[in-house]
Amino acid sequence: MEDPVSARVFDRVFICMKCNASIRANASQVRAGKIACRKCGYTGLRPKKRTRKGKTK
């Protein structure tokens, strides 16, 4: 609970490239390799795609 701005929540959501689990973490820590997937421990995470307004494809 650091940031009450829910609009930016997707900026901190990452997807495990191994098992597709979603992990919420700071981008700086993910880049530094400090964040690992909770399920499989894989550190290869990609940022979740941002959606502009609502869920548009």
CB 46 → Zn ion: shortest distance, Å? 11
Is 17 a residue that touches Zn ion (CB under 5 A)?
no
User: What is the C-alpha separation between 34 and 7, in angstroms, rounded?
Assistant: 24
Nearer to Zn ion, 26 or 43 (CB): 43
Nearer to Zn ion, 3 or 29 (CB): 29
User: What is the C-alpha separation between 19 and 17, in angstroms, rounded?
Assistant: 6
Q: Are residues 45 and 30 in contact, defined by beta-carbon separation less than 8 angstroms?
A: yes
Site residues for Zn ion per CB under 5 A: 16, 18-19, 21, 37, 39-40, 42
